[in-house]
Amino acid sequence: MGKIKLKNIRVHSNHGCLKEEMLIGSDYRVDLEVYANLSQPAQSDKLDETVDYVHLNNIVKEEMAIRSNLLEHVAKRIIDRVFLELPAVENAEIEVAKINPPIGGDVQSVAVVLKAERPN
């Protein structure tokens, strides 16, 4: 088993329940970890035998561009697409963080973390 990590993917999007968030948007940080058997690509050195992190990054950017009220919802959509499009992925963990959220206090970020195993 191996792990591929994408750290600090930065995007601007319009997630949130407040009207201002829908119109102006906010900055987000996404961290994604996927677990897969990486023994074959470690030997073969072939891209088509591993989990392509470019593909993972594209999934994150595309799903973050689709507005959601809740971070939980967009995180689940990302994980669902990872399992749908990348059959080698056995487990995934994602953290979606809203930077400088409008919650009436000095808070650097709020985040949602979801973990999932490939559905049978």
CATH number where 36 lies: 3.30.1130.10
Q: State percent of the chain over pLDDT 90.
A: 80
What radius of gyration, in Å, describes the C-alpha atoms of the chain? 16
Pairing of strands 89-99, 2-13: unpaired
pLDDT > 80? residue 45 = yes
Asked if 119 contacts 87 with a C-beta cutoff of 8 angstroms, the reply is no
By residue range, what is the domain housing residue 64?
2-117
Distance CA 71, CA 75 (A): 6
Instruction: Report how far apart the first and last C-alpha atoms of the chain are (Å, whole number).
Output: 18
pLDDT band at 17 (very low <50, low <70, confident <90, very high): confident
What DSSP line would sit under 42-67, residue for residue? HHH--GGGS--HHHHHHHHHHHHTS-
Say how many domains are in the chain.
Answer: 1
The whole-model pTM stands at 0.92
